[in-house]
Chains A and B, each alone.
Chain A
Amino acid sequence: MTAVNSGSGTPPVIAGRRVVLDNVSQRYTTDRGDTVHAVSDTSITVESGEFVCIVGPSGCGKSTLMDMLAGFLTPTQGTVTIGGEQVTGPGQDRGVVFQQPNLYPWLSVRKNVELGSKFRKIPASVRHDEAERYLKMVGLEQFMDRKPYELSGGMQQRCQIARVLANDPEIILMDEPFGALDALTRERMQVELLQIWRKRKKTVFFITHSVEEAIFLGTRVVVMSARPGRIILDEAINISDENGSPLGAELRSAPEFVRLRDKVSTAIYEAQGVTGMSPAQH
């Protein structure tokens, strides 16, 4: 089951914690007093080290699911547990990459990336080096002393990713993190993310609207239905991508890849109530 080798990472994280959503629902009450049933009776067990990609029509409750995992929202029904412990609020063990960059404009790019270490009172020189390493990784080493608002949207998003990775969380929650990136940067970030995931043995929850991205990155792809969101497909992915090459034409045309893509796309179309249509890309 949990074959966790804690790698050569310096901080010994509590490895092997399993994430369990047990019959989780979330209802919102809107300002007008209506009830929105965003997520309904969802159960899923994720072992440590899995890379779970979540896809589904927009508004189906993917972000809501993430918010409950992050501890920003308490489920109105059911429980979220990590290693048997119930999630009651946000914590450093779960790093969150938001859809928006969410950087702090009063801090430089570097200081933004150092923030997590600063909260944990890690010596300035140590967190300096760490921040630099991750900023180099996302290609922002020339912009370290700039303010976030002096960067493009894509660069800001890369900075946010560096900030979360530098904080070395056990579980990484990413909500359409590469949506704002150009194709080339996106590919690079995908490869980097896979490398970090392999090296550090993180558990990753990754929301995307790109089926190809989900299959390329994930060890598991979960499809959610339209509101109220529930899991309608939970597919293990076994595509060897050991060389860590980007999602290229070769991989795209591999029979197994094509089969998975069609299966997931069909599920999404069915989730939207559009059946019998050819599962085209969107």
Chain B
Amino acid sequence: MSTVAITAPDDKKRISTPGIKPKNRARTAGLRRTAVGLAVFAAFLLMWWGVTAAGLIKPLFLPSPGAVWDAAVQANSCRPVAAGAERLVCGEQNYFMWEHLIASLQRIGAGVGMAIVFGVVLGFIMGTIKPINTVIEPYLNFLRSLPPLGYIGLLIVWFGIGDVSKIWLLFLAAFPPVAMATISGVSGIRQDRIHAAQSLGASRWQVLTNVILPSSLSEIFSGIRIAVGFAWTTVVAAELNNGIPGIGGLAYISGTQLQTPLTIACIIVIGIAAIALDVLIKNLGRLLVPWHGKA
């Protein structure tokens, strides 16, 4: 549109702020929201800083924002072993912080990835074959209600102290929500949708892939989001034993060694990574299920 717009008489009434187009107004609103968010964050930092700088709380219990920042920087860089020494030590616990994060993400990826495959398949079977559902559902509910910390010891006895037991733990924590969501998606499909395909000549397999799978995609995605959320809370538990490299392991060990700034830095990193991953999955879901809520 040109700036010298020929406006209809009633245009002035509709657009309350003359000269600002609706698109621009949306952008202004977005900017304002970001500004408010930043202001709140700054206020929070200032309060944190104020409390620690005034010496109200001992640094061991609550380190200052600066100390946490320094811990994070140190965890991502190399420094001399001692003042003036030649040898360098890198990161924390022999790994950079981002390497710890990657290690945890890999475990989550492996555990949740397997959980998605298994959970969706199991959910399809349980959602489409009623007798199987009746038999398996109590076990699924049982597993779902167990806290992962309760059975990690058992998994270590079974699968050793290495990554296998950790991935098992993540898998066991993550697959029930995926399976439950898939079951709910599959059994919530309107019968007519299936009937329409059958009357068009679809085989059982074609109904499954062309109707049931896309119909339940939206619910499967919400199940995956819940599963990934579970996996984050579980990964710290999984990394309590022999969890280096691992961001959860680092958080735990630094805590036991009274390196509270590093612990807080780890917690912040876990939080940011978890939110980022959730946003990623949410957007992936939006991309793959653009019809959600519309049909």
Contact with B along A123-166 (1 / 0, CB 8 A): 00000000000000000000000011100000000000001100
Summed over the interface, the residue pairs from A and B with CB atoms below 8 Å come to a total of 65
Stretch at the interface among B96-104, B202-210, B274-282: B202-210
Given the complex, which residues of B lie within 8 Å of A94, measured CB to CB? Answer: 199
Q: Taking each of B201, B217, B294, which has the highest tally of chain A beta carbons within 10 Å of its own beta carbon?
A: B201
Given A115-B210, A148-B295, A149-B295, do A91 and B192 touch, yes or no (CB 8 Å)? no
With both beta carbons as reference points, the residue of chain B lying nearest to A93 in the complex is identified as B201
Q: Are B192 and A104 in contact, CB atoms less than 8 angstroms apart?
A: no
Q: Name B198-236 residues within 8 Å CB distance of A.
A: 198-203, 206, 210-211, 214, 217
Q: How far is the CB of A252 from chain B (nearest CB, A)?
A: 34
- Bound-state Cα–Cα, A94 to B200, Å: 8
- Judging by beta carbons under 8 Å apart, are A149 and B294 in contact? yes
| In the complex, chain A residues whose CB is within 8 Å of the CB of B290 | 147
Residue from the set B200, B201, B291 with the largest chain A CB neighbour count within 10 Å: B200
A90 in contact with B214 given A102-B192, A105-B295, A119-B203 (CB within 8 Å) = no
* Cβ-defined contact, A167 with B192, below 8 A: no
Task: Assess whether B21 is interfacial by the CB under 8 Å rule.
Answer: no
Q: Given A98-B195, A115-B210, A120-B201, 11 other A-B contacts at CB below 8 A? A: A70-B199, A90-B195, A91-B199, A100-B192, A102-B192, A104-B210, A106-B217, A116-B200, A116-B201, A119-B203, A119-B210
- Asked whether any CB of chain B lies closer than 8 Å to the CB of A95, the reply is yes
Q: Is the interface of B mostly helix, strand, loop or mixed?
A: helix
Q: Is the CB of A115 within 8 A of B200?
A: yes
Q: Is A72's CB within 8 Å of the partner chain B?
A: yes
Query: Are A119 and B202 closer than 8 Å at their CB atoms?
Result: yes
User: In the complex, which residue of chain A has the Cβ closest to the Cβ of B214?
Assistant: A106
Expressed in whole angstroms, the Cα–Cα distance for A203 and B195 within the complex equals 20
Q: B193: which A residues are within 8 A, CB to CB? A: 102, 104
Q: Does A65 sit at the interface, judged by CB under 8 A?
A: no
- With a cutoff of 8 Å between Cβ atoms, the chain B residues found around residue A105 in the complex are 291, 294-295
12 A-B contact pairs sorted by A residue (CB < 8 Å): A70-B199, A90-B195, A90-B198, A92-B200, A95-B200, A96-B195, A96-B199, A106-B217, A119-B200, A119-B203, A149-B294, A167-B201
B211 to chain A: which residues have CB within 8 Å?
Answer: 104
B196 contacts the other chain (CB 8 A): yes
Q: Which of the residues B192, B203, B214, B294 comes within 8 Å of A98, measured between beta carbons? A: B192
Shortest beta-carbon distance from A26 to chain B in Å: 16
- A89 near B: Cβ within 8 Å? yes
A72, B192: Cα distance in complex, Å:
9
Instruction: State the CA gap A90–B203 with chains docked (Å).
Output: 10
The 7 closest A-B pairs by CB, nearest first: A92-B201, A105-B291, A105-B295, A90-B198, A116-B200, A149-B294, A96-B199
A71 to B192, CA, bound (A): 12
Minimum CB–CB distance from A231 to chain B (whole Å) comes to: 24
- How many of chain B's residues have a CB under 8 angstroms from any CB in A? 22
Size of the chain A interface, CB-CB below 8 angstroms: 28
Chain B's nearest CB lies how many Å from the CB of A254? 36
Q: Is residue B197 contacting chain A, with contact meaning CB distance below 8 A?
A: yes
B295 touches A92 (CB 8 A): no
B200's contact among A71, A100, A148, A163, by CB below 8 Å, is which? Answer: A163
User: How far apart are A101's CB and chain B's nearest CB, in angstroms?
Assistant: 9
Residues of A within 8 A of B201 (CB): 91-92, 116, 119-120, 167
A120 to B214 CA separation, bound complex (whole angstroms):
20
Binary per-residue interface labels of chain A (97-124) against chain B in the complex, 1 for a CB within 8 Å, 0 otherwise: 0101011111000000001100110000
Q: Return chain B residues, CB-CB under 8 Å to A148.
A: 295
Contact of B291 among A98, A106, A120 (CB under 8 A): A106
What residues of chain A lie closer than 8 Å to B198, measured between beta carbons? 71, 89-91
Cα of A127 to Cα of B196 in the assembled complex, Å: 18
Whole-angstrom distance between the Cβ of B113 and the nearest chain A Cβ = 24
Q: Which residue of A lies closest to B206 (CB)?
A: A119
* B294:A90 contact, CB within 8 angstroms: no
Instruction: Select from chain B the residue with minimum beta-carbon distance to A169.
Output: B199
CB contact list, B244-270 vs A, under 8 A: none
Closest approach, in angstroms, between the C-beta of B128 and any C-beta of chain A?
Answer: 16
Which residues in B have their C-beta under 8 angstroms from that of A103?
295
Q: Choose one: A70, A104, A164; the contact of B214 (CB below 8 Å).
A: A104
Q: Which residues of B sit under 8 angstroms from A95, Cβ to Cβ?
A: 199-200
Complex Cα distance A163/B290, Å?
22
Indicate whether A167 sits within 8 Å of B200 (C-beta atoms), given known contacts A105-B295, A149-B294: yes
The interface bits of chain A over 53-95 (1 if a CB of B lies within 8 angstroms of the residue's CB, else 0) are: 0000000000000000011100000000000000001111011
Q: Are A92 and B199 in contact (CB under 8 A)?
A: yes
